[in-house]
Structure 1
């Protein structure tokens, strides 16, 4: 009988797992269906955090090879020296409004729908015909001129600032700020068209001449144009949302238009201007959170507060000048229930409250 040779047993290298490998058998959260590569604000990450945190890469966290892209004269994509302020960790910022793609569309769609419904109801009820002639003139000149301020800030302050901020969480919040401004400017433009077609003698083209030439509006125009020229993204957000909006924006929108519209037979304008004021409340919310974080930074807080105090000294006089230049329009409507000084005092109190939250000292110019 012939003997058959035994088939050799083949051997293969067997994998060995260690905790240093991605395929480790046991590691933190190995039994969980979710995994966080960042520390959430609460026990569990929110949808906002899941879709926002670390979407923008950062060599200090996940890019061991450094920036994948950059400008010819910069060390990387988002240099930290694009602002004077410093942070121990820019990634600590979380938008208290938790703005992300879905909220942007949902919130703005709701506002646009509300404005359109109010305008449709006003047209159906022929409400524009109840406006007093002096109020029609006030709207065509002043609310029309305000449209330019909102558009300028949205397009040339916040669009630029959101590109320069070093994290996606900051970019999102500032970007939504620009969306608010541009949408509000659009709301005012469409309202201008509706009033032009209402047969009430409304001049829908005069707002451009007012913005460019009326002495009453040149202080606001100067303020807005100076804001658009700021190179430091954090200074631009601070000077606009903390200073300008408190002393000029809220002064005009809330302490004038929304206070006196109804006394002049107008219930439509406050619904549109009120939407813009609600936008600012949300934008001030993230602004306070951001600059409070920087003012209280364990390493850089003291230096940051000194810089912000300098920004206050620089921008408060500019915005106060713009506010006081607007004073004559308080006497234009036929029915007035509030004085300019009362309106300005209320605006100053709003700024003082914000400065108190940030731990900053009230500049002497605010008491003048």
Structure 2
């Protein structure tokens, strides 16, 4: 007789083991808030919630080491990608608290304001009041500066933001990238607007100026050399501390922003001012990061020595780039400020920043 009973089916039973990750104690591991990190204040901010430990790190939660790596050996985000050292890279928090939402909100606000200003300028015929020499200055030199901003954004900061060992650092650098690319775009669209305004303005000459004009070849060389740095922290330091202080602020703040209005131009400062505001925010996170490294309990002396070497390497490059720009100070019809005054202001800014980073000024370089 054939049995009609169905055989009893069995299913694999879950086995609960004492895996290392499950046994680890971490901040809030016994709290209902379930925070696995210690926030800066009593409660975690939204910035901290969405940036802490998004990027993995074997020193924190990957107790069995990297889960992926590169073919030549290093795993994930090697700390050896910079010569600088830190006892705790995760100590850095962006003072601007930038994350995905703030990137879109802040940049969209800037773009909206610039578009409104340009629309009003076109409607009011504001470009017709420009001194002819100032129109030539904008078409040649503000147009050339667009290439510097784009080069920094696309080929310097964009490559840096993959390499740092924590998400908090990479996120701040990614915002820096967005700032540079958006500002380069602002300048490009501004160039098109002025080209179509009916005044004598050649909107294509900026390319030949950037490639051939002797006054811009020092800046071009400086930017191109920054793109070739392999150490992500050296790249960031050379760009945001040295180049921006001695060249970027020199041109944007201590020349264009000072002389535009005296030459009948009230539009350009609104565009360039947005770029200066970007740099104020980018300098803030840069200052916080390198101040953390120069005050590191274990590696302070080493980091200061490395940063001093980078200053000795990159300050002469940016000084040469800045001094090559000197002739353009005499080109606007109304000269409100001299190159010497602008240069002194830029050097003072760098000295102040170095003091905040507990770094000595490189002797004989400024």
Question: TM-score scaled to structure 1, two decimals?
Answer: 0.92
TM-aligned CA deviation for residue 35 of structure 1: 1.9
**Corresponding residue number in structure 1 for 2:55:** 56
Q: 2-side partners of 1:239 and 1:74: how far apart? A: 28
Q: 1-side partners of 2:29 and 2:83: how far apart? A: 42
Q: 1-side partners of 2:27 and 2:53: how far apart? A: 20
Taking the TM superposition and a 5 Å limit, the aligned residue runs for 1:1-368 are 33-367=32-366
Q: 2-side partners of 1:164 and 1:56: how far apart? A: 11
Q: 1:151 to 1:350 in 2, by over 3 A?
A: same
CA contact 1:155–1:178 (8 Å) conserved in 2: yes
**Corresponding residue number in structure 2 for 1:11:** none
CA contact 1:348–1:366 (8 Å) conserved in 2: no
CA contact 1:247–1:323 (8 Å) conserved in 2: yes
Superposed CA offset, 1:250-303 (max 9, x none): 000000000000000000000000000000000000000000000010111110
Q: 1:223 to 1:68 in 2, by over 3 A?
A: same
Superposed CA offset, 1:17-37 (max 9, x none): xx999999xx98588542211
Q: 2-side partners of 1:366 and 1:125: how far apart? A: 47
Superposed CA offset, 1:83-120 (max 9, x none): 00000011110000000011101100110001000000
Q: Secondary structure at the match of 1:85?
A: coil
Aligned-residue Cα RMSD (Å) equals 1.9
Q: 1-side partners of 2:271 and 2:69: how far apart? A: 42
CA contact 1:67–1:77 (8 Å) conserved in 2: yes
Larger radius of gyration: 1
CA contact 1:317–1:365 (8 Å) conserved in 2: no
Q: 1:300 to 1:21 in 2, by over 3 A?
A: closer
Question: TM-score scaled to structure 2, two decimals?
Answer: 0.92
Q: 2-side partners of 1:252 and 1:33: how far apart? A: 53
Q: Secondary structure at the match of 1:164?
A: coil
CA contact 2:152–2:223 (8 Å) conserved in 1: yes
TM-aligned CA deviation for residue 74 of structure 1: 2.9
Long gaps (5+) in structure 1: 1-18
CA contact 1:95–1:169 (8 Å) conserved in 2: yes
Q: 2-side partners of 1:106 and 1:119: how far apart? A: 20
Aligned pairs, how many?
Answer: 348
Q: Secondary structure at the match of 1:365?
A: coil
Superposed CA offset, 1:106-162 (max 9, x none): 100110001000000001101011111101000000000000000000000001100
TM-aligned CA deviation for residue 355 of structure 1: 0.3
Q: 1-side partners of 2:223 and 2:364: how far apart? A: 19
Q: 1-side partners of 2:21 and 2:151: how far apart? A: 49
Q: 2-side partners of 1:144 and 1:23: how far apart? A: 57
Q: 1:133 to 1:360 in 2, by over 3 A?
A: same
Q: Secondary structure at the match of 1:74?
A: coil
Q: 2-side partners of 1:210 and 1:149: how far apart? A: 12
Q: Secondary structure at the match of 1:163?
A: coil
CA contact 1:316–1:365 (8 Å) conserved in 2: no
Q: 1:211 to 1:296 in 2, by over 3 A?
A: same
